[in-house]
Amino acid sequence: METNPSWTLRSYPSAMPTVENWVLEDRPIPTPAPGELLVKTLWLSVDPYMRGRISPAKNYASGFKLGDLMYGGGVGEVVRSESSDFKPGDVVMSDYFGWQPFSVIPSQSAKRITNSDAPVQASLSYLGMPGLTAYFSLLRTGAAKQGETVLISAASGAVGQIAGQIARIKGCDPVAVAGSDEKLAWCQELGYRAGINHRTSKDLVADVAAACPNGIDVFLDNTAGPIHDAAMLNLNVFGRVAIVGTIALADRFDQPDVGLRHLRKTLITRARIEGFLLDDFAADYASALADLLSWYKQGLLQTREDVAVGIESVPHAFVRMLKGENFGKQLIKL
C-alpha cells in the first residue's frame, strides 16, 4: 500500500520562512466525498502569494492554521472521481493540490488539461496563473502601449519572463530587474532591451535611470522594496504602476513596511498605482489563454522552469523561490 507523506504547517515564520516551519507527516490516502476527486500529483507549484497564507496577519488569501495541510497549485491525474464531470485518467490542474502525492480536490476547482501542444505543467506557468498575471497586469492594469518603456521586477521569474515577452510582442520597450547576471542574460534572450542587477547595483535609482533614458511608463512591481523606490523615482508623467507582488517583504511580512513614500511624486506625475489580483480578470481568462497559447505555438514565448524533484523538496523549493534563488518558474515534479 502506498504511503502519502504530507506537509503541514508547524509554525508561522517570524521572518524569512525556513523548512523547519513545516513537518512531513505520513497521512492515509484520502477518500473523495461526493463532488470531489482523488488525484495523483504529477506537479506542484510554489508561488509568492503563498507567503501571505502562512502569516497570522489578515490577507486576501485565507491563511493556513498551524497543523493544516499545505496546498497550492498542482497538476495531477484523476484516480477516482466522485463527479460526473471527470473520470479516472483525466489530467487536471487545480489550486487545491495538497503538498502530498495523493490529494482530494473539489471537482469545481479542477480544470481538465486537454491541450496537447504544451507540456501539462504549462498550466502552472505560462498557460496558467503566472502567464495570466503577466498578461493582465501588463495589458490591463499597466495599460502598456506600443513604444512605452516597461520596467519589470523579478524579470526572470514566473510572471516576469512572460511579461517581458508580451511587452516585446506588443512593441513596448521592456527593461528587466533581476538578481543575477545569469538571469539578466536570459532576460536579454527573451527580448528585454536592458537590465539591472539589483543585488550588485550600487545605486539602483541611477542604474534604472540609465537603463530607461526615456523614463518609465509602466512598472510591473513584483517585489516592493528598494526596486519600488528606484522605479517610482524614474516614473514618467501618467505612469502606471501595477502592484503585483511584494516578495522583497517575504522576510518581514508581519511588520509594517516603512520607507520612502512617493505621494508627491504620484501627485506630480499623476501616476496611477493599482493593486493587482488575477481573480478580478476571470471573465477574460479564455481569450487571454488563447493569446498565450498562440504566441507559444509561434515560438514567441520562451520559458524556463526550475524543477525540484520529490515531495520531500517542496518546502525547500518554496523558500528558495522566496529568496529569489530559483531561475525560472519554480515547480516540483513528483
> By C-beta, is 169 or 273 nearer to a copy of itself?
273
- The values of phi and psi at residue 180, to 5°, are -155, 160
21/6 Cα distance (integer angstroms): 14
Cα–Cα–Cα angle for 152, 129, 276, rounded to 5 degrees: 55
> By C-beta, is 238 or 290 nearer to a copy of itself?
238
Q: How far is CA 170 from the centre of its chain?
A: 21
> By C-beta, is 11 or 255 nearer to a copy of itself?
255
In the complex, what is the shortest distance from the CB of residue 265 to a copy of itself, in angstroms, rounded to a whole number?
Answer: 8
> By C-beta, is 8 or 269 nearer to a copy of itself?
269
In the complex, what is the shortest distance from the CB of residue 160 to a copy of itself, in angstroms, rounded to a whole number?
Answer: 16
Q: Which of 232, 220, 239 is nearest to 153 (CA)?
A: 220
In the complex, what is the shortest distance from the CB of residue 91 to a copy of itself, in angstroms, rounded to a whole number?
Answer: 32
In the complex, what is the shortest distance from the CB of residue 151 to a copy of itself, in angstroms, rounded to a whole number?
Answer: 16
Q: For residue 72, what are the contacts with CB-CB under 8 A and spacing of at least 6?
A: 44, 45, 46, 47, 50, 95, 97, 99
In the complex, what is the shortest distance from the CB of residue 285 to a copy of itself, in angstroms, rounded to a whole number?
Answer: 17
> By C-beta, is 242 or 314 nearer to a copy of itself?
242
> By C-beta, is 177 or 224 nearer to a copy of itself?
224
| Residues at the site binding a copy of itself, with contacts judged by CB under 8 A | 59-60, 221, 224, 228, 243-246, 249, 256-277, 280
- The values of phi and psi at residue 200, to 5°, are -105, -10
- The values of phi and psi at residue 253, to 5°, are -75, -25
107/94 Cα distance (integer angstroms): 9
In the complex, what is the shortest distance from the CB of residue 214 to a copy of itself, in angstroms, rounded to a whole number?
Answer: 17
196/44 Cα distance (integer angstroms): 30
